[in-house]
Chain A
Amino acid sequence: MKTHFFGDTAVLLGRSLRHITRSMDTIITTTIMPIAFMLLFVYVFGGAINSGSDSYVKYLLPGILLITIASGISYTAYRLFLDMQSGIFERFQSMPIARSSVLWAHVLTSLVANLISLGVVVLVALLMGFRSGAGVLEWLAVTGILTLFTLALTWMAVIPGLTAKSIDGASAFSYPLILLPFISSAFVPTGTMPGPVRAFAENQPVTSIVNAIRGLFTQQPVGSDIWMALAWCVGILVVAYFFAMVTYRRRIS
């Protein structure tokens, strides 16, 4: 069976990518909120925020990119939920295919969709005056971190996708994820926050990931931040993958 894993995944990936190209609105709606936040924070609040950076959009972008991913992955839960509902999931599971390729196809689709959304958001940021002296290597590093973060959150999204009882339930889990960047260094430096909030903000994954990406954009030494960011991403990925597989096995036994 293993021999067909890549072929089957490719066929099913083609199927869900077609879903995306036929409803580009999923990509547009994914990018609307982060772009709106970016406009709001740069042109409304930005003047009053002392970020210690020469350009606020440059300061803000890493956090906005994470919000983009957090809102994008809820579509994975949504699409998986629809497959469960319609019975096509069961059809695939009863066919002689590599069974896990059904989940992998959804995960890879999420990756493609999110990378497109991220591209759109970066383009808007460029229009708003974002400039970075980052070289190819830095951009590759940023892409790598964002890819890992997307995979981690997507595997997390697989869980509600498999278990939700309604469409709302399938996508509601992403709201706290979207809010997480607000209690981090994404919008304002953590230094001005009161003690407990600051302690939370400085020790949650978003802050280290944002700091690492910001460092790469501004070509500052990223030091321990990048290792912390990678550790968080890989840690969440492993835990989410584990629980997604447990949930999946429970669904098919």
Chain B
Amino acid sequence: MATDAAISVRDLQKSYKALHVLRGVDFDVARGSIFALLGSNGAGKTTVVNILSTLLKGDAGTASVNGFDVATEAAHVRESISLTGQFAAVDEILSGRENLVLVARLRHLKNPGSVADDLLDRFSLTEAAGRKVSTYSGGMRRRLDIAMSLIGNPPLIFLDEPTTGLDPEARIEVWQAIKELARSGTTVLLTTQYLDEAEQLADRIAILHEGRIIVNGSLAELKQLLPPVEVEYVEKQPTLEDVFLALVGRNGKDAKPAMATVAAQTPPAQTPSAQTPSATPPAQTTKEFR
């Protein structure tokens, strides 16, 4: 067992009555990496995260976080982690700043006020700092939520479907925040059902299916699981996301006259990317991954 792993999970099992959610999950997460746990709805991603963050107890198997066993050293585990759950866990009645100060106080930090102000600035929430969170947009709420998770600089952060329900812009903002986190050395365990999210962010990707990890590897390794793809030449069309982001402006503030922006970003000859082979996945089910 890799002792320097930030997270180490062995044969983890969990059932809810007759429903076997986890049937023996094994994986390791290296320090400072972004690890994506991929799976469809109900695959048990949240159950894994809840066990690792000491909110649930597993039925069998072991799991350690930052070297501490989640079952027997829960208090140490909680000192090592921050959980950003599936729904933005923010206090609606308090203001953004009060939410941050609250968490900073609970983490027994010396200057809760300045910690809060720093994070507000980092997540572009300074302007909205004094407003009740119930007036925030979904993206602002998520940003505040992630900011709250960073307080106290825990070495590990769990992000459970951080971009579910966000619009494309907010999604990119959150991705940016996650990349910055990893750059500063934080280990990130991310669950998602969006394949492109895992592709964008993760150093390693594991697919949780029917209670087990069926594959675990880097994106390149995962791609090699499928037979070499046939080369197809296709005209590179802007995706709807490209169009949407070009029209509304990436940051929302620099929205340019729409048609001009679109015209500028789609030159007539789209050359280099047109040559890249695009994968047409052969008819292959996940079963064949095993």
Binding site for B on A (CB under 8 A): 1, 4, 7-8, 11-12, 15, 18-19, 22-23, 86-88, 90-97, 252-253
Chain A residues lying within 8 Å of B91, measured Cβ to Cβ, are: 15, 86, 88
Are B75's CB and A18's CB within 8 A? Answer: no
CB-defined interface of B30-67 with A at 8 Å, one 1/0 digit per residue? 00000000000000000000100111110000000000
Chain B CB within 10 A, most for which of A8, A18, A91: A91
| 24 CB < 8 A contacts A-B | A4-B108, A7-B108, A8-B106, A11-B102, A18-B98, A22-B93, A86-B92, A87-B85, A87-B88, A87-B89, A88-B90, A90-B83, A90-B89, A91-B83, A91-B85, A91-B103, A91-B148, A94-B53, A94-B55, A95-B103, A96-B79, A96-B107, A97-B106, A252-B55
- B148–A11 CB distance below 8 A: no
A91 to B57, CA, bound (A): 16
In the complex the two chains form, is B93's CB within 8 Å of A1's CB? no
Identity of the chain A residue whose Cβ is nearest the Cβ of B57 in the assembled complex: A253
Q: CA A4 – CA B108 in complex, angstroms?
A: 9
Given A7-B108, A97-B106, A18:B94 Cβ within 8 A: yes
- Across the interface, name the chain A residue whose C-beta is closest to B148: A91
A-B pairs with CB below 8 Å: how many? 63
CA distance A87 to B84 in the complex (A): 9
Could you give, for residues 269-281 of chain B, a 1 whenever the CB lies within 8 Å of some chain A CB and a 0 otherwise?
Answer: 0000000000000
Given A4-B108, A15-B94, A95-B103, verify A87-B87 contact (CB < 8 Å): yes
Q: Cβ of B201 < 8 Å from any Cβ of A?
A: no
Closest to B50 in A: A90
Residues of B within 8 A of A15 (CB): 91, 94, 102
B105 at the interface (CB under 8 A from A): yes
Bound complex: CA A102 to CA B279 (Å): 51
Residue picked from A8, A12, A19, A88, most chain B C-beta under 10 Å: A88
Contacts of A92 in B (CB 8 A): 106
Instruction: Please pick, from A1, A23, A87, A253, the residue contacting B75 in the complex, using a CB distance under 8 A.
Output: A1
User: When chains A and B are docked, how far (Å) is the Cα of A11 from the Cα of B78?
Assistant: 18
> How far apart are the CA atoms of A86 and B74 in the complex, in Å?
23
5 tightest Cβ-Cβ pairs between the two chains A and B: A87-B89, A91-B89, A94-B83, A96-B79, A94-B53
Q: What are the residues of chain A within 8 A of B105 when measuring CB–CB?
A: 11
B55:A96 contact, CB within 8 angstroms: no
A91: B residues at CB distance < 8 A? 83, 85, 89, 103, 148
Neighbouring A residues of B208 by C-beta, 8 Å: none
